[in-house]
Amino acid sequence: FLTDDIEETAEHEFVHAVSMCVDVSNPRWLWESVATYVANEFIDPNEINYLKNSNYPTIAELNGDFNYGNFKIYDVGYLLSEFIIHKWGRKKYLELIKSSGDLQKVFNITNTDFETEWANFVNDKYFKK
């Protein structure tokens, strides 16, 4: 008998296994965003204090090493994928995965502009009443 957490973890890891067939070199932020989104591991931004304080992590920060306690990608991964699909659609989302997360090539946007637009999306959708 499996608990929901075990099932979620298995689904998350299965997504990684399938994603490796597409492109093993995806950056951590995208790799985990895809897995959390497909496994439906949504965390309400209202429960994430640093987002409530408008302290959004950068792509560079989300690519940080697990060994240094950098786990924010698991908090916000779903939100990143949600934003990408909302703004550019599923076809471009898949193109981003195939391009190893090359935001400039796929969306013609810098990391900084992507981060700003993502923060605006989350603020507008989840924090504005």
Q: Using one digit for the tens of pLDDT, what is the confidence trace for 94-121? A: 999 989 999 999 999 999 999 999 999 9
What letter represents residue 26's amino acid?
A: N
Question: What are the distances in angstroms from CA 117 to CA 21, 23, 44, 114?
Answer: 30, 26, 18, 5
CA contacts within 13 A on the Cβ side of 25: 4
| Segment 55-71, tens digit of pLDDT | 999 999 999 876 666 89
Q: Tokens 């605006």 label which residue? A: 120
| Segment 19-52, tens digit of pLDDT | 555 556 679 899 999 989 988 999 999 999 999 9
Residue 70 dihedral angles phi and psi, to the nearest 5°:
-90, 95
Q: What is the value of pTM for the model shown?
A: 0.83
Q: Tokens 């599923």 label which residue? A: 90
pLDDT at 39: 86
Question: What are the distances in angstroms from CA 38 to CA 59, 76, 104, 119?
Answer: 20, 13, 24, 21
- Across all residues in the chain, what is the average pLDDT? 87
User: Given its phi and psi angles, is residue 2 left (phi above 0), alpha (psi -120 to 50 degrees) or beta?
Assistant: beta
Q: Where are the alpha helices (DSSP H) in the chain?
A: 4-22, 28-38, 49-52, 59-62, 72-88, 90-98, 103-107, 111-122
Per-residue tokens: 77: 């991964």
